[in-house]
Structure 1
Amino acid sequence: MRVFVAGGTGVLGRRLVPRLVARGHQVTATTRSAARRGLLEELGAEAAVMDGLDATSVGEAVARARPDVIVHQMTAISGKPDIKHFDRWFATTNRLRTEGTDHLLAAAAATGVPHFVAQGYASWNGIREGGWVKTEEDPLDPTSTGEGAAALRHLEEVVIAAGGAVLRYGAFYGPGATDDQVELVRKRQYPVVGNGAGHSSWVHLDDAADATVLAVERGARGVFNIVDDDPAPAREWLPHLAACAGARPPLRIPVWLARPLAGAAAVAMMTEGRAFSNAKAKRELGWEPRHPSWREGFKEELA
């Protein structure tokens, strides 16, 4: 197939593009910077410079590529994590998940692209009621990350309405995905908050890329949680991450202190977060993560 990957130079795009090429697909991948065209060409794709927030730029890039499927991987997450000011940290990503998604869907409609796959998120942001592990039938928490939660809700609604697929990836780990977090852990600036009972789901970049290839090739439609087999509370995964990084155990701080220091989102993640089940992706996509648990995965990546 002709596959158009919007956001080909991101941490997942760099794992996805060569997999699609190896499977025999003709890939056009985009970057916002002309200086990064060479990276995409090295990965085997035809490179296109595109501004995902400019409707004309998106429309022209899609029209030139004439794809059979569009894969939306556009984000703008960089720099030191700033969960306290989540809306500011994710401002451009939120626009890419709203305006950028709308531009890509409009371009798909204008050029007759029959299939659309988009990046969602499913780590700790399940609805904060009931059990600790959620399925695709459970809603995302509408208050988890402020404007970010609203952006994800918009993305899911418009993509599903268009007959596409949303892959709710867990928290990424793998080459280049957790460097900033590990640095904070080594500096003991990433504490366990309160009882640390809030659950999260993780996924290795390679497993996320494999699931995306399956969604492309099988014409998947609907929502899929792309997470590993081992949802776990912060009081388990964070000390393990520190140990694998050769760092001292994380500090533990009470909720009353964490709220002004780290913000409401960090407190919710650490104490009330709800993780996700991958049963549907296994059943309907035939996906099996090669890294079934972050426990072994962290060791491998940080060895």
Structure 2
Amino acid sequence: MRVFVAGGSGVLGRRLVPQLVANGHEVTATTTTEAKLGLLAQLGADGVMMDGLDATSVGEAVAASRPDVIVHQMTAISMTHAGKPDIKHPDRWFAQTNRLRAEGTDHLLAAAETTGVPHVVAQGYASWNGTPHGGWVKTEEDPLNLMEGTASHAGLAVLQRVEDKVLAIGGAVLRYGAFYGPGAIDDQVTLLRKRQYPLVGRGSGYSSWVHLDDAASATVLAVEQKVTGVFNVVDDDPAPASEWLPYLAECAGAKPPRRVPVWLARLLAGDQAVLMMTAGRGFSNSKAKRELGWQLSYPSWRQGFRAELG
């Protein structure tokens, strides 16, 4: 197939493009940085410059590539685009990413309609943001936590909007867990080594993780099988922060993280950090494994963190 990967030079795109190429697909991958065109060529893609926030730029890029499927992976989370991570103010930190997930999605869907692209696969999120009621592990049938009334709401609401729009045209949304792998958690490792990434309260909140290569392989399956609907693309091991954070520190060669009380964490790091570490809900990957036939190279972050950092 001809596959158009919007955001192909990002951390996931750089793992996804080679897998698509290896499976015989003709890949067009976009970037906003001319310097990355060479990288995309090395990965086997036809690299093109595209501004995801410009409808004309998106429309021209999609029309020129005549794809059978569009894969939406556009974000601006890296420090190059978003600056230093600011978990206390995710509305500011993710401002550009939120626009790419709102306006950028609209532009891609409009281009798909105009060009007659029959299938769209978009990026969603499923790490700690399951509804904070009931069990600790959620399925695709459970609602997401949109954190109304907090600085996180804008970004989480945009993700819900992406799901609604893509599902309305018969596309697929892959709710990826927290990424780790080459280039994905460098900032977190740096904070751990400086002992600036503490556990909050008891650290009882759950999160789900996924290695970039496993996220990419699930995406390839979604593309090739032309699936529709929502899929949680996470590993087999949702776990509380009290387990994964000290283990990540150990793998990174850092001292154990400090503990801070909830009131202090809320003051210093904001609502999202507190919820993630104290009341977060992880996710089940049963549907993705069952319906996509997905097999993970790293079934648990316990293996993956050690492989990446050990």
- Structure 1 length normalisation: TM-score? 0.99
DSSP-derived class of the 2:89 partner? helix
Alignment pair present for 1:193 and 2:197:
no
Please give the per-residue CA displacement for 1:100-121, whole angstroms capped at 9, x wherever unaligned. 0010000000010000000111
Pairing of 1:94-173 with structure 2 (within 5 A): 94-143=98-147, 145-173=152-180
Decide which of 76, 84, 87 is 1:83's aligned counterpart: 87
Give me the whole-angstrom Cα distance separating, in 2, the residues matched to 1:57 and 1:154: 22
Residues 26-74 of structure 1: CA deviation (Å, up to 9, x unaligned): 1000001122111111111111100000000000000000000000000
Matched, 1:277 2:281: no
8 Å Cα contact 1:194-1:271 kept in structure 2: yes
| Aligned partner letter, 1:223 | V
RMSD between aligned residues? 0.7
Measured against aligned partners, the alpha-carbon deviations of 1:230-263 in whole angstroms (never above 9, x if no partner) come to: 0000000000000011100000000011111010
Match of 1:45 in 2: 45
* Alpha-carbon distance in 1 for matches of 2:16, 2:303: 22
Q: Where does the alignment leave 5 or more consecutive residues of structure 2 unmatched?
A: none
Greater shift in the superposed pair: 136-145 or 120-129: 136-145
Deviation at 1:204, TM superposition (A): 0.3
What amino acid sits opposite 1:163 in the alignment?
G
Aligned partners of 1:96 and 1:248: how far apart in 2? Answer: 37
Kindly state the Cα deviation for residue 81 of structure 1 after the two structures are TM-superposed.
2.2
Q: Distance in 1 between matches of 2:110 and 2:132?
A: 34
Amino acid at match of 2:18: P
Q: Deviations over 1:184-233 (max 9, x none)?
A: 01101110001110000000000000000000000010000000000000
Is 1:54 the counterpart of 2:58 in the alignment? Answer: no
Runs of 4+ with >3 A deviation: none
CA distance in structure 2 between the aligned counterparts of 1:130 and 1:54, rounded to whole angstroms = 42
User: Does residue 1:72 correspond to 2:72, yes or no?
Assistant: yes
Aligned to 1:298: 305
Structure 1 match to 2:225: 218
Partner of 2:255: 248
Aligned amino acid, residue 68 of structure 1: D
Letter in 1 for 2:166: V
Matched, 1:29 2:29: yes
**Long gaps (5+) in structure 1:** none
Please report the TM-score for the alignment, with normalisation by the length of structure 2: 0.97
Hey, what's the Cα distance between the residues in 2 that align with 1:295 and 1:19? 24
Partners of 1:132 and 1:278 in 2: CA distance: 14
SS at 2:88's partner residue? Answer: helix
Q: Secondary structure at the match of 1:113?
A: coil
Shifted more, 253-262 versus 75-84: the winner is: 75-84
Decide whether the 8 Å contact of 1:81 with 1:181 is kept in 2.
no
Distance in structure 1 (CA, Å) of the matches to 2:25 and 2:146: 37
More displaced stretch, 149-158 vs 33-42:
33-42
Counterpart position of 2:6: 6
Number of residue pairs aligned between Structure 1 and Structure 2: 303
Provide, for residues 156-195 of structure 1, a one-character-per-residue CA deviation record: whole Å limited to 9, x for no partner. Answer: 0000001100000000001111100000011011100011
* Whole-angstrom distance in 2 between the partners of 1:91 and 1:78: 12
Q: Distance in 1 between matches of 2:213 and 2:36?
A: 21
Residue 212 of structure 2 is aligned with which of 202, 205, 210? Answer: 205
